[in-house]
Structure 1
């Protein structure tokens, strides 16, 4: 399930053109807080 979510997020990031590192770090924090 995480893979699907991560894949969707990565696709959105590519479409938006945002850098990946800050978003991934934020998601790691979010998952860690979970």
Structure 2
């Protein structure tokens, strides 16, 4: 996801508190900007 959007993983994690990268599900919405 980070490679596709160009947004660093750390920033994606910061924008989505409480979302674990280990438990992401298909179709789950995340903020990237």
TM-score w.r.t. the length of structure 2 is 0.30
TM-score w.r.t. the length of structure 1 is 0.30
Which structure ranks higher in relative contact order (CA pairs < 8 Å, sequence separation ≥ 6)? 2
